Structure 1
Amino acid sequence: MAAIKALFSDIDGTAIRSDHTMSKAVARSFRDCMDRGCTVVLASSRSPQGMMPLVRSNGLEGVWISAYGGGLLVDECGRTLAEHGFGRALALSIVQFVEERFGDAAAAGVYTAQHWYVKSRKDPRIAREERIVQTTSQEGGPEALEEDETVGKILFICRPEATLSVRDALRQRFGALHVSTSSDILVEVNAAGISKATAVADVCSNLGIAPAETAAIGDAANDLPMLDAAGIAIAMGNAVPAVKEKADFVCGTNDEDGVAEACARLWRS
């Protein structure tokens, strides 16, 4: 691990277990990395607010946060180092397109650095997401956006049978945007050219290091750009096949402390 100066870890399905908690072993492995001088970056599609409860409850003050699938980078002091997104007009068009095409098969969440806008908090899909990330959304939908707010991400929580159709329709209609899936019910929309690989580039630029000096761990399709960009790519044992195919090695599952296993292996190498 001596050559690794930054470690990027996905959260859901990677750093946390199926019950949405982080094990003591995984938290300890992150702290060990930081103690050794390695910058740990939690790279997720979540908002910063949806990541901070994990940081605080596991004693991980000192990590960097890459939120919105590469759309926002915040350092250990809470300073915004990079922000990539799009404006109100495009956000309105994206949400309107999905609503007209798919009706209530998908519930939209629009994320900025400070807000999470939804149509209704009573939607059970939104309520479930609030419980998972321990963050409260704000009703009003994309119409609530200020004219000068930057949208970091739009998340569509879909019925499982509609997820791929929503993804493919968005890719066809908004070809310049980065559209990916992070589970069988989640479709993520980022600005053109923005993915988790952006986080690797932004961190390397700010730290003055090379991508070859980084490692990344993930499980889902939206982690693939990050794994491509990092020097060492690690797949969780529960990862989708495409992620395992991309990886330099596969560790245990998220319920088997796979991240801790991966960190130990990196330090031994």
Structure 2
Amino acid sequence: MADATGKYKLLALDLDGTLLNDRSEISETNIEWVRRAVEAGVTVCVSTGRGFPSALPIAEQLGLYTPMITVNGGEIWTKPHEIHRRTLLDWEKIARLREIALRYNVWYWAYSTGGIHNKEQWVDDVPTLDWLKFGFYSEDVPVLQDILREINDWEGLEISNSSPYNIEINAMGVSKATALMELCKMLGCEMSEVVSIGDSLNDIAAIRASGLGIAMGNAQEEVKFAANVVTASNTEDGVAEAIRQYVLRT
């Protein structure tokens, strides 16, 4: 277990299920404590499975002009609109993953550098786009497990989820953890000085790699097991509680 009494310089915040409540809103309490962390000199970084266009308004609402991690680490931004590194997923894999989604009749989506594409709005010419992530969604968990078993044998995939009802796929080696390691090089800090807060499997590598890994009260059980501590849920201002208790220790 990491020591939770050190000085932390970088706070990586997941969005959905973590900073955001179940209505996809940020509570005033969470906003206030993020602001206090920034004022104390902590670099607060959005770290999300979302694409940049949907993550940016949240960073702006928080007044953050800091590095961002989007699409599970597929994109690392030095600051909003300034890309540092982008790691693509081969278009051939995107096409194969879509074929599986069609065969199992589940909803699917994918991010390219041009935006988000899904079952209702797919693209005709997959090879022409630069792809970042693919996802399956189904509330039929056994079906998701069947898909997972099928794609687990593929080479070149990094597999996670952002809820118990989806599977998310990036290029091998892409994760919020590897993105945070890159940010540490950029910012001149160590992973031991990082706090990561999240709720799903796409957060688990970062939670394990950080100096302090915090799971939300609503997190998946595997995430809680991997974390150093568990805070309150996303509907109970768990991020604010974590900042107050562990980052600023007030």
- Residue 19 (structure 1) shift: 1.4
TM value normalised by structure 2:
0.90
Deviates more, 1:36-45 or 1:87-96: 87-96
Deviates more, 1:12-21 or 1:157-166: 157-166
Residues 1:250 and 2:230 aligned together: yes
Indicate the RMSD between aligned Cα atoms, in angstroms.
1.9
- Show the 5 A alignment for 1:35-74: 35-56=39-60, 58-74=61-77
Where does residue 97 of structure 2 map in the other structure?
Answer: 94
Judging by fraction of residues, say which structure has more helix. Answer: 1
Question: Could you tell me how far apart the structure 2 residues matched to 1:226 and 1:85 are?
Answer: 20
C-alpha contact (below 8 Å) 1:4/1:38 kept by paired residues: yes
Unpaired segments of 5 or more residues in structure 2?
A: none
- Residue 2 (structure 1) shift: 7.2
Q: Deviations over 1:230-267 (max 9, x none)?
A: 11111111112211122221111111101001001121
Residues 1:83 and 2:123 aligned together: no
TM value normalised by structure 1:
0.84
Question: Could you tell me how far apart the structure 2 residues matched to 1:72 and 1:18 are?
Answer: 25
- Percent identity, aligned pairs only? 25
Count the aligned residue pairs.
Answer: 244
Q: Deviations over 1:35-62 (max 9, x none)?
A: 2222111111111111123233x33332
Deviates more, 1:149-158 or 1:189-198: 149-158
Q: Deviations over 1:74-115 (max 9, x none)?
A: 133421011112232221122123323x1x2x2221212331
SS at match of 2:21: coil
- Residue 23 (structure 1) shift: 0.4
Question: Could you tell me how far apart the structure 2 residues matched to 1:168 and 1:19 are?
Answer: 32
Residues 1:119 and 2:119 aligned together: yes
Question: Could you tell me how far apart the structure 1 residues matched to 2:229 and 2:100 are?
Answer: 40
Question: Could you tell me how far apart the structure 2 residues matched to 1:97 and 1:242 are?
Answer: 26
Supply the AA of the counterpart residue of 2:18: T
C-alpha contact (below 8 Å) 1:163/1:184 kept by paired residues: no
Supply the AA of the counterpart residue of 1:21: E
Q: Deviations over 1:192-226 (max 9, x none)?
A: 11112122112112112111111101111221101
Where does residue 129 of structure 1 map in the other structure?
Answer: none
Where does residue 125 of structure 1 map in the other structure?
Answer: none
Q: 1:170 aligns with which of 131, 141, 151?
A: 151
Q: 2:122 aligns with which of 140, 147, 153?
A: 140
